Structure 1
Amino acid sequence: MQMTPHIRPFRHGDESTLWQVYFSAIHQIAVRDYAPEQIDAWAPAEVDPDAWAERIRRIDPFVAEQDGEILGYADLQPDGHIDHFFVSGAHPRQGVGTLLMRRLHEQAASLGVAEMSADVSRTAQPFFARHGFLVVEQRLPVRRGVVIPNALMRKTLGSGTPRKP
């Protein structure tokens, strides 16, 4: 059965559920491309709930929800940068990411953004590539003392002038 979640704006009170989505996406999906110590550094079992809530409120994501269950979330900042893009580990490859990506493209168009960019995990790079993003640079960011490789990916949109790399 094809999923038909709806995309809605973030609401105060979603923060802890979005942590669960983030944690499950990394521990259940990204685990195939990263070592256990990388997974634990990226999404540790313990998190400061206030710091997490503040970050989520700051990025103000869109939320994919079906029958009251949050399945994923993603944001688009005014400069075209995607800070978070996560689908729950319980719902991979069911169209949730595509719905979120479509909503981010709609948001980019309404903001007049010329280019979208994201720091994309190894796991998500094929998905972003299917949506027209190109790898600009492979990166080796360090979190909690552990290198967690990712790639800067960009997509030039229909109007405006793209930024130089």
Structure 2
Amino acid sequence: MSTSRQTKIHQFQCSDLDSLRRLIWDTIDISYSNLYPPRAVEFFKEFHSDQNILERAQAGIVLVAEDNGEIITTGSLVDGEIFAVFVHPDRQRVGLGKALMKMLEEQARASGTSESVLSVSLPSKRFYEGLGYEIVQECSKDVGDGQRLDFWKAKKRLFPRDH
């Protein structure tokens, strides 16, 4: 699987763990810190801990994209729900996230899922809406110290390939 000559997408391997977590946490620091309060940023990092990444890989599929040996994109699929889609901020807006989402949706479709669901963060709302995801619920989580994490639940009907 690949998206360009240099970028290769493959299934997560345990040896990817440190680089994958670093990609996710760096992206959270860069893309979320100016939109969310500090406790929410920490919540996101805890949600994407080493243990949670490994659990997602065991329960479903975690894809990573590498460019010259550096992980630049990732996304997970567990029971029809897409999690942890991150593209390094320096690599955004060139189609990597869209290509990865297409692969995750294909995996969901192949496993018999007819509707994909995901949680949408503030910085990713426009991206997911552009891919056809419909916001179905506004959510807010108290993360302590009077701070909250605002997000949405979204869904998208996955039509068969020949539709």
TM-score range (shorter-chain normalised) is 0.7 to 0.9
TM-score (norm 2): 0.82
RMSD: 2.2
Conservation of the 8 A alpha-carbon contact between 2:122 and 2:151: yes
The answer to whether the 8 Å contact 1:42/1:143 transfers is no
Partner of 2:130: 130
Note if 1:52 corresponds to 2:27: no
| Larger helix proportion of the pair | 2
How many residues align? The count is 151
Mapping of residues 39-78 of structure 1, within 5 Å: 39-43=41-45, 52-60=49-57, 61-78=62-79
Residue 24 of structure 1: how far off its partner (Å): 1.4
Task: Answer whether contact 1:8 1:62 (CA < 8 A) is retained.
Answer: yes
TM-score, normalising length: structure 1: 0.81
Structure 2 unaligned runs (5+)? none
Question: 1:18 & 1:143 partners in 2: Cα distance?
Answer: 24
SS in 1 for 2:154: strand
Distance 1:123 1:11 in 2: 28
Alpha-carbon shift at residue 83 of structure 1 (Å): 2.2
After TM superposition, what 4+ stretches of structure 1 lie above 4 angstroms from structure 2? none
- Whole-angstrom CA distance in 2 between matches of 1:130 and 1:8: 25
Higher strand proportion? 2
Offset, 1:57: 1.6
Whole-Å separation in 1 of the counterparts to 2:44 and 2:144: 8
1:4-28 superposed Cα distances (whole Å, 9 cap, x missing partner): 2221100011111111111111111
CA deviation profile, 1:143-164 (whole Å, cap 9, x unmatched): 46531100001101115xxxxx
Aligned residue type for 2:150: P
SS of aligned partner of 1:113: coil
Residue 149 (1) aligns with residue 146 (2):
no
**Could you tell me which amino acid in structure 2 is paired with residue 57 of structure 1?**
L
Give unpaired runs (5+ residues) of structure 1.
Answer: 160-165
